[in-house]
Amino acid sequence: MGSFQLEDFAAGWIGGPLLAPDQRAPETPGRDLANRARRQEPLRPKHLRHPPGLGAASVIVGHPLDTVKTRLQAGVGYGNTLSCIRMVYRRESVFGFFKGMSFPLASIAVYNAVVFGVFSNTQRFLSQHRCKELEASPTRTLSDLILASMVAGVVSVGLGGPVDLIKIRLQMQTQPFREADLHVKSNTVTRGQQPLYAGPVHCMAAIVRQEGLAGLYRGASAMLLRDVPGYCLYFIPYVFLNEWITPDTRAGPSPSAVWLAGGLAGAISWGTATPMDVMKSRLQADGVYVTKYRGVLDCISQSYRQEGLKVFFRGITVNAVRGFPMSAAMFLGYELSLQAIRGDHAAMDP
């Protein structure tokens, strides 16, 4: 079996992100169920015909909390999570929680397909290359998972950086800012006037016009520092939690095991990524009305000097709470989509 498989990209497109690695070595008469479970074979729900596309649903469900998280991390005047929710609702109604959602919603299928297809194929390539040298059947190791997760993290920044930037600019353009910041380089639009951006397309055009194409990757260094370890803490906990939850007598993980393992992995990843997520949010929000940070190190320095160590944990509760249902849905959507695709292939065999 070749290491490159398009079905991993297709499953990411259909069902949403975050897959379990495909370790389907050819079956031989002596392989027991425990070994099959250890290889993380995909789910086999016989009733499944059309897998659910949960990637878009996860964006819709998670975006309100994402807006609250971004306001807490990069905004001013919010005491805590509940205070932030009340202020957003009072000033902007329920629609304020969905600002900036259209661009992530439109791009989620492409993002999932590329990032998680890259992870699965990279992990499979590393496993097969290593085992070929040892003349052994393919097995998964922690080093394979780490390297594949890191590659996925790098790809996610290249693909998702502009999407995140535009989302945060739209989320933050109605955010009040300190009058003391007015001495910093400011855009032409000032507080109290119409919002700076009319929508995602206008926002992208304005950024390119003012800052060039490189402006679309503002905060990319912080995003890279967040996503490379962050994806390691997505995939690796998911794989090992899945193995731990799944009994040895099962041929593969159940949907409930995938849902639970995926949710816990998401909560762990987003919780631990919060410090660099704060820096990324601040760098990407920087420039909506004022520009105050020269880079990620300057952002860390200024933030710590002004607010102390607690600044790096802004929004950690929202991140962890939001990470569980979103990641649970994403893992489950991917697994079901992958199985449906492979089931169709099997049905076509003579």
- Tell me the pLDDT tens digit for each residue of 49-93: 344 456 677 788 889 999 999 999 998 878 889 999 999 999 899
User: Is a pLDDT exceeding 80 seen at residue 131?
Assistant: no
pLDDT of the residue at 134: 55
| Percent of the chain with pLDDT strictly greater than 90 | 45
Q: Which tops the pLDDT comparison, 6 or 226? A: 226
**Per-residue confidence band for 344, with pLDDT thresholds at 50, 70 and 90:** very low
Q: Of the given ranges (49-63, 107-121, 191-205, 246-260), which has the lowest mean pLDDT? A: 49-63
HSE-CB for 41 with a 13 A CA cutoff? 19
pLDDT of the residue at 318: 95
The pLDDT of 128-151, averaged and rounded, is: 78
pLDDT of the residue at 107: 83
pLDDT of the residue at 54: 61
Please state the separation of Cα 12 from the chain's center in Å: 13
User: Is a pLDDT exceeding 60 seen at residue 340?
Assistant: yes
Enter the tokens of residue 267.
């909560």
The pLDDT of 13-30, averaged and rounded, is: 40
Average pLDDT, the chain: 79
User: In whole angstroms, what is the distance from residue 211 CA to residue 197 CA?
Assistant: 15
The pLDDT of 183-192, averaged and rounded, is: 45
**Per-residue confidence band for 28, with pLDDT thresholds at 50, 70 and 90:** very low
Beta-carbon neighbour count of residue 346 at 10 Å? 8
The pLDDT of 280-292, averaged and rounded, is: 87
Question: Among candidates 60, 285, 63, which has minimal Cα distance to 174?
Answer: 285
User: In whole angstroms, what is the distance from residue 256 CA to residue 273 CA?
Assistant: 26
pLDDT of the residue at 189: 42
Answer positive or negative: Cα dihedral of 193, 198, 200, 201: negative
**Per-residue confidence band for 208, with pLDDT thresholds at 50, 70 and 90:** very high
The segment with the largest mean pLDDT, out of 87-96, 193-202, 340-349, is: 87-96
Q: Which secondary structure element, helix H or strand E, spans residue 291, and what is its range?
A: strand 290-291
